[in-house]
C-alpha cells in the first residue's frame, strides 16, 4: 500500500524557517517524481514545488522561489521541503504528492502537515 506521511509542521514566526519531511513507503520511491502542494485555510490548492526521481530537475512556484528548497533522499525514501524567510501568506497545510510521471497528475497524497506563520 502506498503511504506518504508528512511531518515537521508547526508554528513559526515571520522570517523564520521550517523543514518539512515526507516519508514514503509501499512503492519504489526512487522511481517517482514528487511534489509539494499547499492549501491555505479555507482556500484552494496551490502547487509549490517539483523534484524529479533523481533530484536533478527541480521547479518552484514563483511565490516560493528563492525561499523554499525541495530535496530528496532516495536511500531514506524521503522528500523534504526547507522553508526559509517564511511569511504569513505561507500559512497552509502542506501535502506531498506522488507524480504519475508522464501526464503529471498526482496519484497519491499524504495527509498533510499544517504550517502556521504568525507572531
Q: Give the Cα separation of 34 and 22 in Å (integer).
A: 10
Of residues 1 through 30, those in contact with another protein by CB under 8 A are none
Q: Is 45 in the site for another protein (CB under 8 A)?
A: yes
Nearest to 92 by CA among 49, 45, 58: 45
- Binding window for another protein (CB under 8 A); candidates: 10-18, 66-74, 79-87, 102-110: 102-110
Closest CA to 21 of 119, 116, 115, 117: 115
* Residue with Cβ nearer another protein (44 or 66): 44
| Shortest distance in whole angstroms from residue 119 CB to another protein | 26
Q: Does residue 89 touch another protein according to CB under 8 A?
A: no
Amino acid at each position: 500500500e502506498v503511504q506518504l506521511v508528512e511531518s515537521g509542521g508547526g508554528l513559526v514566526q515571520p522570517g523564520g524557517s521550517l523543514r518539512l519531511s515526507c516519508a514514503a513507503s509501499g512503492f519504489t520511491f526512487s522511481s517517482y517524481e514528487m511534489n509539494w502542494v499547499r492549501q491555505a485555510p479555507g482556500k484552494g490548492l496551490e502547487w509549490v514545488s517539483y523534484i524529479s526521481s533523481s533530484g536533478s530537475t527541480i521547479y518552484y512556484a514563483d511565490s516560493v522561489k528563492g525561499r523554499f528548497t525541495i530535496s530528496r533522499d532516495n536511500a531514506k525514501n524521503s522528500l523534504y521541503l526547507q522553508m526559509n524567510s517564511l511569511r504569513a501568506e505561507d500559512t497552509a497545510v502542506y501535502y506531498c504528492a506522488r507524480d504519475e510521471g508522464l501526464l503529471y497528475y498526482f496519484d497519491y497524497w499524504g495527509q498533510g502537515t499544517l504550517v502556521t506563520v504568525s507572531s
